A and B are shown apart, each in its own frame.
Chain A
């Protein structure tokens, strides 16, 4: 599919959201998404395999989604990964569903062997690169919206440099370190 088509669809999706991006923080956005989907979202730092930076697993018989993100990367990168997984949810993509008991067992096992999560996801991983492209496009559009709102706010007499407002922006995205 044409990149512009993807962008247009994602833009339309973003415009249809009833979220006020002026108050955006990753935490606030996550809570809003939880309410919208009726499912809780847990972020889990993880030693991810190199082929993926983040992963999303849904509890099959529960009301919780787990978003795993690479724990050995920069906080800014982690925030981007988290938002990318949330974008998958917004797009309505499907993901691996694991039984609640299995999820807990899986989490326990992965403490001993982090690569197990790789196997589980690979077995039931249904995402395509097209879906990743959609999620990445939506992620960038969300960031663009957040940043635009930030820049429209009244600023100091002396303009802040891009690092000043961008650091605030990355903080809002939930930079965790």
Chain B
């Protein structure tokens, strides 16, 4: 029931996407070779999904009088679709890819009568019936893996080169997506072929194992599709992604600085000018300024703590917590005044981690208590 739902949903989604792509292609502002190839990819994937529908599968077989003909048509479609997708993403080595496609299509058609065509009709392709069927499937999987490699290797090289020559910031992210996509794709084909081959040797023993491996492989192909799209995404996508990452970093820094400020201000006995209160919306809208304000506030406390001991006006409760003041004072004074803005923010964020997990360093500080007590906090 669920499988049928997934199959039919996939059918609707892929054909919907194909029609949408077609309208863009026909009435879009600019028609490109890449756009056409992407539409052809969508079309062949839709055909593949259609041939894999149980009703269509059996209907075609009956009409043609050839067992598993839909399987062949599905493989021809998805192989051609993969070719168009790869050439749309990467224009390098197109001639070799075309040659390889033609050879694979001919080989699939040639092997079919000895493989799936010679066995009884089978809607699930988990257990092969003969060696020719393994070769048939291996041809398709081999084509897929080789296609990925042929496209990914020059593309990854181009990405690295671009990073080196143009200093592109997100080159690592793009390269990571590409590498992971390649790994996922190769794993998918390897797992599928492994599951298919092992179940041939002893179907009753290995069938549950093959089903499990096939599910993992399907998860791999989903990961591959997402990573592949990320790898070939536009620069604008990476710019936005970078903004998102930096925004997350900013929030993290802001939270750290705010925590540090709350800690140090708790031990400061002197009144300090406080920045105006801000709602969380204001803080999100202008995070930079609020990071800056937190920094200024911490530096206010730092200066006050540095000289707090000289004031001779320490309240009793603060005096009791001298060790804490001395410890925080030492940490705050360890940040040099010569740092640039970024390093300053990072230094105080790092300091917040030390304040939060102070054990080893604080123990060392306590052991050296006599020196800080006399040197840094001269008491009346």
Contacts and interface: CB of A to CB of B under 8 A. Distances in A.
- Do A and B pair up? The answer is yes
Interface of A: 3, 6-7, 49-51, 53, 70, 72-77, 80, 84, 129, 132-133, 135-137, 140, 143-144, 147-148, 157-159, 161-163, 165-167, 169-170, 177
Contacts of A159: 239, 242-243
Given A6-B276, A77-B296, A84-B273, A53 B288 contact: no
B45 to A, nearest CB: 33
B288 A162 contact: yes
B101 to A, nearest CB: 37
Contacts, number: 101
Given A50-B306, A133-B276, A140-B275, 13 more contacts: A7-B276, A50-B307, A51-B271, A72-B303, A72-B306, A76-B341, A76-B344, A132-B273, A140-B276, A140-B289, A157-B235, A158-B242, A167-B342
Contacts of A6: 276
17 contacts: A50-B304, A51-B304, A72-B306, A73-B303, A77-B299, A77-B300, A84-B273, A129-B271, A140-B275, A140-B289, A143-B292, A144-B289, A147-B288, A158-B169, A159-B243, A161-B246, A170-B292
A76 B243 contact: no
A136 B308 contact: no
B271, B273, B288, B339 interface centre (most CB from chain A within 10 Å): B273
Contact of B277 (A3, A74, A84): A3
Interface in B297-317: 299-300, 302-304, 306-308, 310-311
Given A136-B273, A161-B246, A166-B288, A50 B293 contact: no
A156 B274 CA distance: 35
B340 A167 contact: yes
B235, B275, B306 interface centre (most CB from chain A within 10 Å): B275
A167 B340 CA distance: 8
Interface in B250-285: 250, 270-271, 273-277
A144 to B, nearest CB: 6
B228 to A, nearest CB: 23
Contact of B341 (A73, A144, A163): A163
B368 interface: no
Closest 4 CB pairs of A and B: A50-B307, A163-B342, A77-B299, A137-B276
A162 to B, nearest CB: 5
Contacts of A147: 286, 288-289
Interface residues of B, number: 42
A74 B337 contact: yes
A80 B304 contact: no
A136 B300 contact: no
A58 to B, nearest CB: 20
A174 to B, nearest CB: 13
A123 to B, nearest CB: 18
B291, B302, B308, B342 interface centre (most CB from chain A within 10 Å): B342
Given A50-B310, A51-B270, A144 B276 contact: no
Contacts of B239: 157-159
A101 to B, nearest CB: 31
A166 B270 CA distance: 29
Contact of B303 (A3, A53, A135, A169): A53
B137 interface: no
B239, B271, B299, B339 interface centre (most CB from chain A within 10 Å): B299
B349 to A, nearest CB: 12
Contacts of A133: 273-274, 276
Given A143-B289, A158-B239, A49 B307 contact: yes
Contacts of B286: 144, 147-148
B49 interface: no
B28 to A, nearest CB: 24
B135 interface: no
B299 to A, nearest CB: 4
A132 B296 CA distance: 15
B338 interface: yes
Nearest to B336: A74
Nearest to A7: B276
A143 B310 CA distance: 33
B152 interface: no
A80 B296 contact: yes
Contacts of A7: 276
Nearest to B253: A162
A75, A132, A162 interface centre (most CB from chain B within 10 Å): A162
Contact of A136 (B274, B304, B344): B274
